Structure 1
Amino acid sequence: MSDNDNTVHAHRMWLFIASCISLLTTSMIFAIRGDISAALSADFHLNAELMGKMWSPAFLGFTFSIFICGFAVDALGMKVMHVLSAVGFLVGLGCIIAAPMPELAEGEIVSGIFATPGTSMLFIGFLIMGIAQGIVEGVINPLAATIYPDKKGQMLNVLHAWWPGGMIIGGLLALALTKGGASWQAKMGMIAIPTVIYLVMCLMRKYPQTERVAAKVSTADMVKGTFKPLFILLFLLMWLTAAVELGPDQWFPALMKELTGMEGIIFLCYTAGLVFVIRFFGGGLVHKFSPLIVLIVCSVLTFIGLFWLGTLKTGASAAVAFTAATIFGIGKSFFWPTMLGIVAERFPKGGALAMNLMGGAGMASIAFVLPIMGGQLDTAGAGAALKMVSYLAIALIVVFTALHIGFQMKGGYKAVHVSDEE
């Protein structure tokens, strides 16, 4: 390898690592937010349904910003947007930590999200952090596809291994701080550390143009690519894959504590560990086998795992709970990055817009499913909430199987180069 090749490799790796750390930051937020839900509910007088509504702006903000990023990363550049995401994390974090607690009687529930200054600040803080999370996703996916054009699916899986990686780090930090008697504000404050690290890394390097811009594909052609039938179907499927993967995750600490009596964050860290190992070391499976076969297997395992968890009663055996959680953890491993990988490989002219529409669909789905799961948790218990989500995996099994058969009839699944796409 020549000196020039070494320099290019080092530069790509620097940008990839910065991307991994920024994704790690977003998932640390996800894990810590789940861990502190009980403390936030108590301090701000929120029931589970209101807590779900409080979290929703994080995902709606994510959805809005990732859609905008589809155009902004081309117009403003990926570096500007990556830096902006870090600033957003720090501002949103400040709003949440500084939010004053309502002065209400013990057991009294606030009448609405905007009923007090404190709950309003929480809402705004989570919204800003959600926007920042969307920007991260809107930058790192097209960035990974641009710097690794010949192994998009594999590198997207390795990149997205750091989503569960961040959940493990965030979950273990939250658990350690809980044992040490730390406040929920101290737990949230830990998010600033990786934020500052990746902010500095972003400022130190030049970013490339997106693959679409470098190939001189027009904006009109980029938009046109998102109206193809297969893309529209994948867009709709993303709502379901995200709901079964990430909807349960946000409630997992509370749900598993209710079912087993153990600290629920342990289960979240355990399933996240499974996902990290499988994505990091098994990313090549999407190329060895058809990504659609991988998604079919994931859908089957996810249904079994979630449904089994939903049948557990309060005080369930930890061994049984961990077995069911293992099946769920393995099943959900490839959903998000493989869906993005298919879009990157089949619709390269769609560029950042196509990938960000997919990410936005995923986060919009979670924004809808969280309050619904919260309502189920309030009225019917943890088991009913998990069973409800598990049924979505049945639809995924049917549609992914049909897609696989369709591709097989046309000679099998193949990636498309940007110059060959119609």
Structure 2
Amino acid sequence: MAAASLHRGRLFWLSVLALFTAAMSASLRAATASGIKAQWIDPVAAADAGRLIGEALGASFLGFAVTLFITSALLDMIGTKRMLLACGACFIVGTLTILLAGRMANGADIHGVVWLGMLICGIGWGLAESAINPLTAQLYPEDTTHRLNMLHAWWPAGLIVGGLAGYFLADALTWQAILGLTLTPAVLVIVIALGTKFPPPMRAETGVTFGEMMTEVFRRPSFLIWFGAMFLTAASELAPGQWVDVALTHKVGMRGILLLVYVSALMFVLRHFAGKLAHTLSNPGLLWVSSLLAAIGLFMLSRADSPVTAMLAATVWGAGVCVMWPTMLASVAERYPRGGSWMMGLVGSAGALSIYFVLPRLGAIYDAAKIDLAGGADALAGLQGAALAQVESDAAARSFEFVAVLPLILLVVFGVVWLMERRKPAATIGAN
């Protein structure tokens, strides 16, 4: 670990920058989704616009999931440095594809180009997490939960910067110019990675062969519980974050992206204390409490109808979901160390796949509710002003009611795991 110790701080902050870039990109995509929808989708498919923009936003999670699934197994062959260089390149190419979609296609075909750009951005995000999560676990084996939560505190930091930029620059710049802000940190990732020395692959230090790493999933079938739980934790956290600006802006009387910014600030602070909370409750105990708060908060969001009630609901939801993603990764790293980057990548890809399926589902529920509440597609097309706003408000409530059910399932899952692990000696939890 000599090289890792010498460059540990620089490597950690490069990891932070890569994740910050992914988060800023996601936030700016969410902040500009309404502009994309209004300019390119509403004119050609108004009744189906919610599903279509949901599909486009969800494409980044598909790219993330597939990339994480493949590259996490091949990390030691590809190398962390190459992964981070490719990560920066993907954010540049993907963002430019979205920005130039109107020049590359016409009418309904623009949606396909936007979808492709979102997909490429998701590939960049997948490359980032494939590299930085195992790298952080490798650099800080004695404090994995705390360090992964510190690393992932910079995910909400990126959401804050992107969200505030999307809000305050909306009147001064086009949505294209706002989305283009992603290019700056993406270039910095490439420049810094080029000048950074990386430690040897994790498997070179542990002595675990590639075959042993790949078969650990079958040797430790309890991993499937964490894999399945990640579908629901990610859907509880990330899907509402991507959907909030589209669905809640008119409903609560404030830009939904501001709710995302506020929740992100809350997450940034709370993730720095996750290590102490996990030490007190254990990881499953912390995740159980998080699921309870997430369920309550999402239900409150479905009922929020003013800035005050929206902020209160967002506080409860944010306090619930803030530690879910990094604590899930840390739980897998600690319990299945021989699985290395592969098992961390598998659980991350599960989370991303859930968003890919959930976001279009949210859009479809939203669209169906609009048509139902308006009395038919023709009636919806004729609505304007306050009448249309009311229909959209009630439709948004139905979409959030759907996602609020997911963390309720997690209460059972994490409750059982928590009780079972409390009966085991601590030393046996990650035993091979």
Do both share a fold (TM > 0.5)? yes
- Choose which of 2, 7, 11 in structure 2 pairs with 1:11: 7
Contact 1:69–1:352 (8 Å) recurs in 2: no
Distance in 2 between residues matched to 1:328 and 1:399, nearest whole Å: 19
Distance in 2 between residues matched to 1:16 and 1:276, nearest whole Å: 17
Q: Percent of aligned pairs with the same residue?
A: 37
What per-residue deviation string (whole Å, max 9, x for no partner) do you get for residues 169-217 of structure 1? 100111121132x111111110011111121111111111233332110
Question: What residue in structure 1 maps to residue 333 of structure 2?
Answer: 344
Determine whether 1:329 maps to 2:331. no
Q: How much does 1:10 deviate?
A: 5.8
Question: What residue in structure 2 maps to residue 250 of structure 1?
Answer: 242
Determine whether 1:142 maps to 2:134. yes
Determine whether 1:78 maps to 2:69. no
Q: How much does 1:29 deviate?
A: 1.4
SS, match of residue 142 in structure 2: coil
What per-residue deviation string (whole Å, max 9, x for no partner) do you get for residues 302-333 of structure 1? 01100111123xxx232222111100010001
Where in structure 1 are there 5+ consecutive unaligned residues?
Answer: 105-109, 111-115
Q: How much does 1:84 deviate?
A: 0.9
Where in structure 2 are there 5+ consecutive unaligned residues?
Answer: 43-48, 370-394
Distance in 2 between residues matched to 1:413 and 1:279, nearest whole Å: 25
Deviates more, 1:365-374 or 1:198-207: 198-207
SS, match of residue 410 in structure 1: coil
Q: How much does 1:253 deviate?
A: 1.4
Q: How much does 1:103 deviate?
A: 5.6
Write the letter of the residue equivalent to 1:352.
Answer: S
SS, match of residue 122 in structure 1: helix
Contact 1:82–1:202 (8 Å) recurs in 2: yes
SS, match of residue 254 in structure 2: coil
SS, match of residue 64 in structure 1: helix
Structure 1's 10 and 257: CA in aligned 2 closer, same or farther, altered over 3 A?
Answer: farther
What per-residue deviation string (whole Å, max 9, x for no partner) do you get for residues 32-56 of structure 1? 1111111101221250101111222
Distance in 2 between residues matched to 1:385 and 1:156, nearest whole Å: 31
Contact 2:130–2:341 (8 Å) recurs in 1: yes
Deviates more, 1:347-356 or 1:9-18: 9-18
Determine whether 1:310 maps to 2:306. no
Alignment of 1:104-183 (within 5 A): 110=108, 116=109, 118-180=110-172, 182-183=173-174
Structure 1's 407 and 379: CA in aligned 2 closer, same or farther, altered over 3 A?
Answer: same
Structure 1's 170 and 378: CA in aligned 2 closer, same or farther, altered over 3 A?
Answer: same
Question: What residue in structure 1 maps to residue 221 of structure 2?
Answer: 229
Determine whether 1:399 maps to 2:399. no
SS, match of residue 71 in structure 1: coil
Contact 1:146–1:210 (8 Å) recurs in 2: no
Distance in 1 between residues matched to 2:174 and 2:272, nearest whole Å: 33
Write the letter of the residue equivalent to 2:189.
Answer: Y
Write the letter of the residue equivalent to 2:194.
Answer: L
Write the letter of the residue equivalent to 1:385.
Answer: S
Structure 1's 340 and 413: CA in aligned 2 closer, same or farther, altered over 3 A?
Answer: farther
Question: What residue in structure 2 maps to residue 218 of structure 1?
Answer: 209
Question: What residue in structure 1 maps to residue 20 of structure 2?
Answer: 24
Contact 1:153–1:287 (8 Å) recurs in 2: no
Distance in 2 between residues matched to 1:414 and 1:155, nearest whole Å: 22
Question: What residue in structure 2 maps to residue 113 of structure 1?
Answer: none
Distance in 1 between residues matched to 2:265 and 2:427, nearest whole Å: 30
Write the letter of the residue equivalent to 1:258.
Answer: H
TM-score computed with the length of structure 1 as normaliser: 0.91
Distance in 1 between residues matched to 2:306 and 2:121, nearest whole Å: 37
Question: What residue in structure 2 maps to residue 205 of structure 1?
Answer: 196
Write the letter of the residue equivalent to 2:272.
Answer: F
Distance in 2 between residues matched to 1:56 and 1:383, nearest whole Å: 20
Contact 2:252–2:306 (8 Å) recurs in 1: yes
Contact 1:24–1:165 (8 Å) recurs in 2: yes
Structure 1's 128 and 406: CA in aligned 2 closer, same or farther, altered over 3 A?
Answer: same
Q: How much does 1:9 deviate?
A: 5.0
Q: How much does 1:230 deviate?
A: 1.5
Contact 1:93–1:188 (8 Å) recurs in 2: yes
Alignment of 1:40-51 (within 5 A): 40-46=36-42, 47-51=49-53
Write the letter of the residue equivalent to 1:185.
Answer: Q
Aligned-pair Cα RMSD in Å: 1.8
SS, match of residue 217 in structure 1: coil
Write the letter of the residue equivalent to 1:33.
Answer: R
Q: How much does 1:293 deviate?
A: 0.9
Distance in 2 between residues matched to 1:209 and 1:152, nearest whole Å: 18
Structure 1's 128 and 139: CA in aligned 2 closer, same or farther, altered over 3 A?
Answer: same
Alignment of 1:253-264 (within 5 A): 253-264=245-256
Q: How much does 1:258 deviate?
A: 2.4
Determine whether 1:33 maps to 2:25. no
Question: What residue in structure 1 maps to residue 399 of structure 2?
Answer: 385
SS, match of residue 367 in structure 1: helix
SS, match of residue 72 in structure 2: helix
Question: What residue in structure 1 maps to residue 374 of structure 2?
Answer: none
TM-score computed with the length of structure 2 as normaliser: 0.89
Distance in 1 between residues matched to 2:121 and 2:260, nearest whole Å: 21
Distance in 1 between residues matched to 2:113 and 2:140, nearest whole Å: 40
Structure 1's 17 and 370: CA in aligned 2 closer, same or farther, altered over 3 A?
Answer: same
Distance in 1 between residues matched to 2:31 and 2:4, nearest whole Å: 41
Question: What residue in structure 2 maps to residue 57 of structure 1?
Answer: 59
Contact 2:163–2:258 (8 Å) recurs in 1: yes
Contact 1:258–1:382 (8 Å) recurs in 2: no
